[in-house]
Amino acid sequence: MYNLYTYAIIWGDGGMTVLTEYNFSNARSHFTELIDCVQRLAPVVIRPRKKTEDASIIMSRTLLKMILVDNEASPRIEPKFITETDGSVTLILDPLDIAVNSGSRESAIREAAVEAAEYAKEYLDPANVALYLRSPNRRAHLSTVLQIAICDSLQEILEVLNLA
């Protein structure tokens, strides 16, 4: 077994981590071992290749869900239903700034979940994510967007949105 760097490691810049670390080359050549660590719910750090890069952390979906769900700093989604004068239903998801209008409550819920999934995909697109994280009105959406992005089904998305 490859000897991993573990526990408190002091980096050249004075930073330190208590997570298992790999440099980039070792991560590639020992990828199976790295994944084995992650599957045991132990996050792994891959040190940057260049000084201009940040370290990368790999973790399992299960651990990420645990972190996101237990995060009290995450904004709570407050669905608001409005019955319009024409009988249609408008569903607003604050604070995500998502609003849909549909013929029934059930179809509005489904459309809102689909819209939230599309927003999560747009937010996490490499072309957008840095911009969205710098935007004051979108930065706080990150934890909810990640919760949506790791959902396996529409039902899970509805649970994240407090619509289940």
Topology of domain 78-160, CATH: Double Stranded RNA Binding Domain (3.30.160)
Over range 142-150, report the average pLDDT.
93
Report how far Cα 152 is from the mean position of its chain's Cα atoms.
13
Residue 74: pLDDT band with limits 50, 70, 90:
confident
pTM of the model: 0.78
For residue 24, what are the contacts with CB-CB under 8 A and spacing of at least 6?
46, 47, 48, 49
Tell me how crowded residue 143 is: count the other CB atoms within 10 A of its CB.
Answer: 15
**What pLDDT, in 10s, does the model give residues 75-120?**
789 999 999 999 999 999 999 999 999 999 999 999 999 999 999 9
| pLDDT of residue 1 exceeding 60 | no
Rounded distance, CA 125 to CA 122, Å?
A: 5
**Any idea where the domains of the chain sit in the sequence?**
9-59, 78-160
Instruction: Assign domain 9-59 to its CATH architecture.
Output: 3-Layer(aba) Sandwich (3.40)
